[in-house]
Structure 1
Protein backbone atom coordinates (compact mmCIF):
# COMPACT_ATOMS: atom_id res chain seq x y z
CA UNK A 1 0.00 0.00 0.00
CA UNK A 2 2.80 2.44 0.85
CA UNK A 3 4.42 1.88 -2.56
CA UNK A 4 1.21 3.02 -4.28
CA UNK A 5 1.02 6.14 -2.11
CA UNK A 6 4.66 6.97 -2.81
CA UNK A 7 4.20 6.44 -6.53
CA UNK A 8 1.15 8.73 -6.48
CA UNK A 9 3.23 11.41 -4.70
CA UNK A 10 5.99 11.08 -7.33
CA UNK A 11 3.56 11.45 -10.21
CA UNK A 12 1.78 14.41 -8.62
CA UNK A 13 5.13 16.11 -8.06
CA UNK A 14 6.07 15.62 -11.71
CA UNK A 15 2.75 17.21 -12.72
CA UNK A 16 3.47 20.27 -10.54
CA UNK A 17 7.14 20.90 -11.39
CA UNK A 18 8.08 21.90 -14.94
CA UNK A 19 11.12 20.08 -16.36
CA UNK A 20 11.00 17.38 -13.67
CA UNK A 21 11.95 14.27 -15.60
CA UNK A 22 11.17 11.78 -12.85
CA UNK A 23 12.11 10.48 -9.47
CA UNK A 24 12.23 7.65 -7.04
CA UNK A 25 12.25 6.82 -3.36
CA UNK A 26 14.89 4.47 -2.01
CA UNK A 27 15.69 3.18 1.46
CA UNK A 28 19.03 3.91 3.08
CA UNK A 29 19.94 0.29 2.23
CA UNK A 30 19.48 0.95 -1.49
CA UNK A 31 16.16 -0.83 -1.90
CA UNK A 32 13.70 0.70 -4.33
CA UNK A 33 10.38 1.79 -2.77
CA UNK A 34 8.80 3.33 -5.88
CA UNK A 35 9.98 4.90 -9.13
CA UNK A 36 8.61 7.21 -11.80
CA UNK A 37 11.66 7.57 -14.04
CA UNK A 38 12.16 8.34 -17.71
CA UNK A 39 12.72 5.55 -20.21
CA UNK A 40 16.25 4.18 -20.10
CA UNK A 41 17.00 5.12 -16.48
CA UNK A 42 17.48 1.96 -14.40
CA UNK A 43 15.54 2.33 -11.11
CA UNK A 44 17.55 -0.21 -9.10
CA UNK A 45 20.84 1.40 -10.12
CA UNK A 46 19.60 4.90 -9.19
CA UNK A 47 18.23 3.55 -5.89
CA UNK A 48 21.65 2.13 -5.00
CA UNK A 49 23.39 5.40 -5.92
CA UNK A 50 20.80 7.38 -3.94
CA UNK A 51 21.51 5.29 -0.85
CA UNK A 52 25.23 5.87 -1.30
CA UNK A 53 24.72 9.65 -1.57
CA UNK A 54 22.36 9.56 1.41
CA UNK A 55 24.99 7.82 3.51
CA UNK A 56 27.71 10.26 2.49
CA UNK A 57 25.47 13.29 3.01
CA UNK A 58 24.37 12.02 6.44
CA UNK A 59 28.04 11.71 7.40
CA UNK A 60 28.82 15.26 6.22
CA UNK A 61 25.78 16.62 8.04
CA UNK A 62 26.76 14.86 11.24
CA UNK A 63 30.45 15.81 11.21
CA UNK A 64 30.56 19.18 9.44
CA UNK A 65 27.11 20.72 9.90
CA UNK A 66 26.28 19.19 13.27
CA UNK A 67 22.72 18.42 12.28
CA UNK A 68 20.45 16.15 10.30
CA UNK A 69 20.82 15.85 6.52
CA UNK A 70 17.95 17.46 4.61
CA UNK A 71 18.89 17.77 0.92
CA UNK A 72 21.64 17.93 -1.66
CA UNK A 73 21.60 19.12 -5.29
CA UNK A 74 24.03 17.94 -7.94
CA UNK A 75 24.13 20.27 -10.94
CA UNK A 76 25.25 18.86 -14.29
CA UNK A 77 25.25 20.19 -17.85
CA UNK A 78 22.31 17.89 -18.59
CA UNK A 79 20.23 18.84 -15.57
CA UNK A 80 20.07 18.32 -11.84
CA UNK A 81 19.78 15.50 -9.34
CA UNK A 82 18.21 16.58 -6.07
CA UNK A 83 18.06 14.22 -3.10
CA UNK A 84 15.81 14.95 -0.10
CA UNK A 85 15.72 13.06 3.19
CA UNK A 86 12.46 11.20 3.79
CA UNK A 87 12.98 10.65 7.48
CA UNK A 88 16.09 8.88 8.76
CA UNK A 89 15.80 5.75 6.60
CA UNK A 90 14.88 6.82 3.04
CA UNK A 91 15.44 9.45 0.37
CA UNK A 92 13.59 11.07 -2.51
CA UNK A 93 15.76 11.46 -5.64
CA UNK A 94 14.53 13.78 -8.41
CA UNK A 95 15.93 14.26 -11.92
CA UNK A 96 15.36 17.54 -13.75
CA UNK A 97 16.28 19.05 -17.06
CA UNK A 98 18.82 21.91 -17.10
CA UNK A 99 16.09 24.54 -17.42
CA UNK A 100 14.37 23.56 -14.16
CA UNK A 101 14.00 26.24 -11.52
CA UNK A 102 15.59 24.73 -8.41
CA UNK A 103 13.78 27.12 -6.07
CA UNK A 104 10.44 25.88 -7.39
CA UNK A 105 11.63 22.29 -7.12
CA UNK A 106 12.52 22.84 -3.45
CA UNK A 107 9.14 24.44 -2.71
CA UNK A 108 7.33 21.41 -4.10
CA UNK A 109 9.73 18.62 -3.15
CA UNK A 110 10.31 19.44 0.52
CA UNK A 111 6.67 18.90 1.57
CA UNK A 112 6.50 15.83 -0.67
CA UNK A 113 9.53 14.34 1.10
CA UNK A 114 7.83 14.97 4.46
CA UNK A 115 4.61 13.35 3.24
CA UNK A 116 6.51 10.31 1.98
CA UNK A 117 8.40 10.06 5.29
CA UNK A 118 5.08 10.12 7.13
CA UNK A 119 3.54 7.44 4.92
CA UNK A 120 6.57 5.21 5.32
CA UNK A 121 6.66 5.70 9.11
CA UNK A 122 2.95 4.87 9.38
CA UNK A 123 3.47 1.68 7.36
CA UNK A 124 6.41 0.50 9.48
CA UNK A 125 5.35 -1.85 12.27
CA UNK A 126 6.35 -0.72 15.77
Structure 2
Protein backbone atom coordinates (compact mmCIF):
# COMPACT_ATOMS: atom_id res chain seq x y z
CA UNK A 1 0.00 0.00 0.00
CA UNK A 2 2.76 2.45 0.95
CA UNK A 3 4.63 1.55 -2.24
CA UNK A 4 1.51 2.44 -4.24
CA UNK A 5 1.44 5.84 -2.52
CA UNK A 6 5.12 6.44 -3.36
CA UNK A 7 4.45 5.40 -6.95
CA UNK A 8 1.44 7.73 -7.25
CA UNK A 9 3.40 10.73 -5.94
CA UNK A 10 6.21 10.04 -8.45
CA UNK A 11 3.78 9.66 -11.34
CA UNK A 12 2.03 12.89 -10.31
CA UNK A 13 5.43 14.62 -10.24
CA UNK A 14 6.24 13.33 -13.74
CA UNK A 15 2.84 14.51 -14.98
CA UNK A 16 3.07 17.92 -13.26
CA UNK A 17 5.36 19.23 -16.00
CA UNK A 18 6.16 18.19 -19.54
CA UNK A 19 9.78 18.98 -18.64
CA UNK A 20 10.03 16.15 -16.06
CA UNK A 21 11.03 12.92 -17.79
CA UNK A 22 11.60 10.59 -14.84
CA UNK A 23 11.62 10.42 -11.05
CA UNK A 24 12.73 7.97 -8.40
CA UNK A 25 12.76 7.65 -4.62
CA UNK A 26 15.98 6.04 -3.47
CA UNK A 27 17.22 5.04 0.00
CA UNK A 28 20.37 6.82 1.14
CA UNK A 29 22.27 3.56 0.62
CA UNK A 30 21.25 3.45 -3.04
CA UNK A 31 18.32 1.00 -3.06
CA UNK A 32 15.31 1.87 -5.20
CA UNK A 33 12.17 2.44 -3.09
CA UNK A 34 9.88 3.47 -5.96
CA UNK A 35 10.39 4.79 -9.46
CA UNK A 36 8.66 6.27 -12.46
CA UNK A 37 11.51 5.82 -14.93
CA UNK A 38 11.24 5.39 -18.69
CA UNK A 39 11.89 1.99 -20.25
CA UNK A 40 15.59 1.42 -20.76
CA UNK A 41 16.74 3.40 -17.72
CA UNK A 42 18.67 1.17 -15.31
CA UNK A 43 17.11 1.51 -11.82
CA UNK A 44 20.20 0.15 -10.09
CA UNK A 45 22.46 2.69 -11.80
CA UNK A 46 20.13 5.58 -10.97
CA UNK A 47 20.01 4.42 -7.35
CA UNK A 48 23.75 3.99 -6.97
CA UNK A 49 24.63 7.30 -8.65
CA UNK A 50 22.03 9.23 -6.64
CA UNK A 51 23.25 7.84 -3.31
CA UNK A 52 26.90 8.50 -4.22
CA UNK A 53 26.24 12.07 -5.37
CA UNK A 54 24.10 12.91 -2.35
CA UNK A 55 26.79 11.59 -0.01
CA UNK A 56 29.52 13.53 -1.82
CA UNK A 57 27.37 16.67 -1.90
CA UNK A 58 26.72 16.45 1.83
CA UNK A 59 30.43 16.11 2.48
CA UNK A 60 31.30 19.00 0.16
CA UNK A 61 28.70 21.20 1.86
CA UNK A 62 30.26 20.49 5.25
CA UNK A 63 33.90 20.71 4.14
CA UNK A 64 33.33 23.99 2.31
CA UNK A 65 31.26 25.48 5.14
CA UNK A 66 28.09 25.71 3.05
CA UNK A 67 25.90 23.94 5.61
CA UNK A 68 23.21 21.40 4.85
CA UNK A 69 22.59 21.03 1.14
CA UNK A 70 19.18 21.69 -0.38
CA UNK A 71 19.68 20.02 -3.73
CA UNK A 72 22.30 18.67 -6.09
CA UNK A 73 21.93 19.45 -9.77
CA UNK A 74 23.76 18.20 -12.81
CA UNK A 75 23.14 20.00 -16.09
CA UNK A 76 24.13 18.27 -19.29
CA UNK A 77 23.47 18.88 -22.96
CA UNK A 78 20.62 16.34 -22.89
CA UNK A 79 18.97 17.61 -19.71
CA UNK A 80 19.30 17.88 -15.96
CA UNK A 81 19.37 15.54 -12.99
CA UNK A 82 18.16 17.06 -9.72
CA UNK A 83 18.46 15.33 -6.35
CA UNK A 84 17.03 16.43 -3.03
CA UNK A 85 16.65 14.74 0.34
CA UNK A 86 13.26 13.33 1.19
CA UNK A 87 13.43 12.89 4.94
CA UNK A 88 16.58 11.51 6.52
CA UNK A 89 16.45 8.11 4.83
CA UNK A 90 15.83 8.83 1.15
CA UNK A 91 16.65 10.97 -1.85
CA UNK A 92 14.26 12.10 -4.58
CA UNK A 93 15.92 12.14 -8.00
CA UNK A 94 14.33 13.60 -11.11
CA UNK A 95 15.47 13.89 -14.70
CA UNK A 96 14.38 16.93 -16.67
CA UNK A 97 14.58 17.92 -20.33
CA UNK A 98 17.09 20.47 -21.58
CA UNK A 99 15.81 24.06 -21.25
CA UNK A 100 13.32 22.97 -18.57
CA UNK A 101 11.67 25.68 -16.47
CA UNK A 102 13.67 24.90 -13.34
CA UNK A 103 11.87 27.25 -10.96
CA UNK A 104 8.59 25.41 -11.50
CA UNK A 105 10.30 22.04 -11.29
CA UNK A 106 11.98 23.00 -7.99
CA UNK A 107 8.56 23.87 -6.57
CA UNK A 108 7.05 20.56 -7.75
CA UNK A 109 10.06 18.65 -6.35
CA UNK A 110 9.68 20.35 -2.97
CA UNK A 111 6.01 19.41 -2.77
CA UNK A 112 6.66 15.82 -3.81
CA UNK A 113 9.61 15.49 -1.43
CA UNK A 114 7.53 16.68 1.51
CA UNK A 115 4.70 14.28 0.64
CA UNK A 116 7.11 11.36 0.26
CA UNK A 117 8.96 12.11 3.51
CA UNK A 118 5.65 11.98 5.43
CA UNK A 119 5.15 8.42 4.17
CA UNK A 120 8.67 7.20 4.94
Could you say whether these structures have the same fold, taking a TM-score greater than 0.5 normalized by the shorter chain as the test? yes
Map 1:1-126 onto structure 2 (within 5 A).
1-120=1-120
Partners of 1:65 and 1:115 in 2: CA distance:
29
Partners of 1:89 and 1:68 in 2: CA distance:
15
Greater mean alpha carbon deviation, residues 63-72 or residues 47-56: 63-72
Please tell me whether the aligned partners of residues 74 and 80 of structure 2 are also in contact (alpha carbons under 8 angstroms).
Answer: yes
Partners of 2:66 and 2:96 in 1: CA distance:
29
Give the deviation of 1:20 after TM superposition.
Answer: 0.8
Give the deviation of 1:66 after TM superposition.
Answer: 4.5
**C-alpha spacing 1:10/1:65, structure 2 compared with 1 (3 Å):** farther
> What stretches of structure 2 of length at least 5 have no aligned partner?
none
Moved segments of 4+, more than 4 Å: none
Give the deviation of 1:64 after TM superposition.
Answer: 2.0
Greater mean alpha carbon deviation, residues 76-85 or residues 57-66: 57-66
Backbone CA RMSD of aligned residues: 1.2
Partners of 1:74 and 1:66 in 2: CA distance:
18
> What stretches of structure 1 of length at least 5 have no aligned partner?
121-126
When the two structures are aligned, how many residues end up with a matched partner? 120
Please tell me whether the aligned partners of residues 71 and 82 of structure 2 are also in contact (alpha carbons under 8 angstroms).
Answer: yes
Partners of 1:60 and 1:46 in 2: CA distance:
21
User: Scaled by the length of structure 1, what TM-score is found?
Assistant: 0.89
- Write the deviation string for residues 38-62 of structure 1: whole angstroms up to 9, x where unpaired: 1110111101111001111111222
